[in-house]
Every structure is written in structure tokens, then in C-alpha cells.
Amino acid sequence: MTYKKSSLFEEDLQRIAELSRVLSHPARLAILRYLAQCKTCISGDISKEMPLSRTTVSQHLQELKKVGLIKGQIDGLKVNYCLCETCIKDLKNLIAGFFEEISIEQKNQC
């Protein structure tokens, strides 16, 4: 039986790493910013705002949705995407808590 070595780490560190991987692409950050400004949006509208093909934007949307940062609701032939406020708040708290924990001000400097 094989397993990821990342599973040996605390859940909060695993979650930060997972979210960081998804956030590491500028297109995904741009999509999150766009959804924050629009509140709700149709996937076709998003591709008009990005310098990427509709297929590429759709792949980025799926990555964001997979980790829970956005929600997608089917409306006929379209999918309306919006931010998941709970997940965004959790992400902010996780990252703030992590950086508070490793704050240089609290540790001896090298």
C-alpha cells in the first residue's frame, strides 16, 4: 500500500499546501478577484475577462472548485460560479494563523 508522505503532516499544513498549490497560478488568482468583484458570474463571462481560451479557464475553474474556493451552480446550459465565503474565510484564518506561528518577531533571528 502506498500513501503520500504529506499525509504524515498536520491537517492544517496539508490544507494550506493544497490551497497554495491551487493559488499558485495567476489565472486562478485573477478568477478569484473577478468573482469577488462580480459576486456571481457565468463561466462564459469569465473567459471573456481572461487572456485564455474558454477551455483553459474551465480547467482553472475546476481546480478552484475541487478545493472548495468557488461553487458552481448549473443553470440550464450555463454554470454560475461564485466564491465560497466560508472557504475563503477559512483560508484567511489558516494562513494568518500559520504566519503568526512562524513570525520572525517571536523567534531568534539568524
Q: What is the chain's Cα-based Rg?
A: 17
- The answer to whether residues 17 and 32 touch, using CB atoms and an 8 Å cutoff, is no
User: Domains in the chain, ordered, with CATH?
Assistant: 10-97 (1.10.10.10)
Please tell me the predicted confidence (pLDDT) of residue 91: 94
Please tell me the predicted confidence (pLDDT) of residue 110: 59
Average pLDDT over the chain, rounded to whole?
88
- Express each pLDDT in 30-49 by its tens digit: 999 999 998 777 777 788 88
Q: pTM for the full model?
A: 0.84
